[in-house]
Amino acid sequence: MNSYSEKFSIKILFKWTLICLIIGILSGSTSSFFLVCLNRVTEYRENNSWIIWLLPIGGLFIGLMYHYYGKTAVKGNNLILEEYENPQKPIPLLMAPLVLIGTLITHLFGGSAGREGTAVQMSTAISDQLTRVFKLDNSERKTILILGISAGFASVFGTPLAGAIFALEVVFFSKINFKSVFTSFLVAYISYYVVEFWKVKHTLYSIPSVPHFSFPNLFWVSISGVLFGLTALLFSKTSHFWHELFSKYISYPPIRPFVGGVILAVSFYFIGTTKYIGLGIPSIVDSFNHASDNYDFFLKILFTGFTLGAGFKGGEVTPLFFIGATLGSTLSLFIPLPIALLAGLGFVAVFSGATHTPIACTIMGMELFGVESGIYIAIACGVAYFFSGSIGIYSSQVVRGPKYKLYRKLNSSNLEDL
C-alpha cells in the first residue's frame, strides 16, 4: 500500500512538473515574441505619427476578425475567469493569435492600451489545450487556468512572485487547492527565466530615497492610498461605461472600433501629443523624476477606457501603472514625500484597487522597487483596495472579502436609518 502510494505521488508530481515546464516554456516564449513585436510596432508608430490616421481601419479589421472568428474569445480575461468559476468549454486556442494580432494593430495605429491582457490570454489559451492532452478533470482544469494566468503575468512584467500570487488572488474567493499554489509559483519562475533566456528586457524602475517610518509619513501614504483607490474606481467605472455605451448605440460590433478609431485619431490630432497613446512607458519612467502634469492621469483614464470600450485589444494594467505613477508624481507637489516614492506607490496601488489584488501588488512593488519601500507599498495598496469600491476592471471576477462585508454593513445601516 505504501509502495503504491509513493508511486502514485511520484506520478502526480512528474505529471504536474511536466505540465509546468510545457506551459512555462510556451508562455515565456510567446510573451517574448509579443514583447519584441510590441517594441517594434511602437518604434515604427513613434517615427511615423501619420499612421494614427489609420486607427479606424485597424479598428475595423480587429472588429471583423473577432466578429467572424472570435465570438467567445472576444470576452478576453473575463472568459478565463468565467471558465474558472464555472467550467463549460475549453478556451479556444484561436484566442492566442487573435489577441496577439489585435493588440499589435491597436498599438501600431495608436490606441491607448496595455499588454498584460494579451500575455495572459495567450498563455491561458495555450495552457488550456493541455486539459485534453492530459485528460484532466474540472478541478485539475482550474489549476491549468491558474497556471496560464501566472505564467502570462510573470513573463510579460518580469515579476514571478507577483505573477504567481496574482493568479491565485484574482480567483481567491473560489476554491483553490495546494497543488495550484505550488505549481503557480513553479510555472511563474519557469516562464520568467524563459524570457531571460530569450534576452528580452523589461523596463527598470527605482525608488532611490525611502524616508524612515514615522506617523506623519504613514498619514501621508494613507491619504495618497485613498486617492489611488478612488482613481482605480474611476478607471473601472469609465471602462465599463464606454463598453456599455458602444454596445447600446452600435449594434454591429465591427463598426464600434471603427467609430472609436475615428474619434481617437481626431482627438489625438487636436491635443497635439502622443503621450497618451500606446503603453506610455516614457511618461511612467519620467514620472519618477519629474512632476507630471496634473491632468495626465485623467486623460489616460479617458483614452484607455475609450480605446478598450470601443473594441480595441490590449490590457488595462500598464495604463493603470501610467495613471497611478503620474498621479503620484503630481501629488508630490502637495504631499511631503519623495516624488519617486509617490510615483511607485501609485504605480502599484491603483492596480491593486482596480483588480482587488492588494497582496500581489504589494509583492510586485517590492520586486520592482526594492524591499526598502515595502511597508509603504503595503499600506498604499491596502488602503487603495478598500477605497476602490466593489467594481473592478474584470466584470466576471468573483469579488468578496473584508471590504465587501464592510460595504454590506454600511448599506444595511443606511437602509435602517431610512
Is residue 126 one of the residues assigned to a domain? yes
Residues 184 and 266 reside in one and the same domain: no
- In DSSP notation, 230-256 reads HHHHHHHHHHHHHHHHHHHH--STTHH
The answer to whether the beta carbons of residues 220 and 335 sit under 8 Å apart is yes
Distance, in Å, from the CA atom of 183 to the CA atom of 19, rounded to the nearest integer, reads 9
The answer to whether the beta carbons of residues 315 and 113 sit under 8 Å apart is yes
Predicted local distance difference test score (pLDDT) of residue 416:
44
pTM of the model as a whole: 0.94
Residues 189 and 272 reside in one and the same domain: no
**Residue 312, Ramachandran bin (φ over 0: left; ψ between -120 and 50: alpha; else beta):** beta
Residue recorded with cell 475609450: 306
The answer to whether the beta carbons of residues 315 and 349 sit under 8 Å apart is no
The answer to whether the beta carbons of residues 366 and 348 sit under 8 Å apart is no
Residues 92 and 192 reside in one and the same domain: yes
Q: What is the mean pLDDT of each run of 10 residues along the chain (418 residues)?
A: 62 94 98 98 96 98 97 93 91 97 98 96 98 93 96 97 96 74 97 97 94 96 98 97 97 98 97 95 97 97 98 96 98 98 98 96 97 97 94 82 61 48
Residue recorded with cell 460590433: 253
Q: Using CA atoms in the order 121, 99, 201, 149, what is the torsion angle rounded to 10 degrees?
A: 0
- Which domain covers residue 321, as residue numbers? 215-402
145-200: per-residue pLDDT in tens?
A: 999 999 999 999 999 999 999 999 998 755 667 789 999 999 999 999 999 999 99
Distance, in Å, from the CA atom of 176 to the CA atom of 32, rounded to the nearest integer, reads 29
Residues 185 and 258 reside in one and the same domain: no
Distance, in Å, from the CA atom of 52 to the CA atom of 38, rounded to the nearest integer, reads 16
Residues 190 and 242 reside in one and the same domain: no
Residues 63 and 100 reside in one and the same domain: yes
Number of folded domains that form the chain: 2
Predicted local distance difference test score (pLDDT) of residue 16:
96
Predicted local distance difference test score (pLDDT) of residue 390:
84
Predicted local distance difference test score (pLDDT) of residue 209:
92
Beta-carbon count within 10 A of 41 CB: 18
Distance, in Å, from the CA atom of 90 to the CA atom of 250, rounded to the nearest integer, reads 30
Is residue 206 one of the residues assigned to a domain? no
Residues 173 and 233 reside in one and the same domain: no
Residues 41 and 109 reside in one and the same domain: yes
The cell for 162 is: 507577483
Amino acid at 329: S
Is residue 19 one of the residues assigned to a domain? yes
Q: DSSP code of 337? A: S
317-371: per-residue pLDDT in tens?
A: 999 999 999 999 999 999 999 999 999 999 999 999 999 999 999 999 999 999 9
Amino acid at 252: Y
The cell for 47 is: 517615427
* Number of helices followed by number of strands (H, E) in the chain: 18, 0
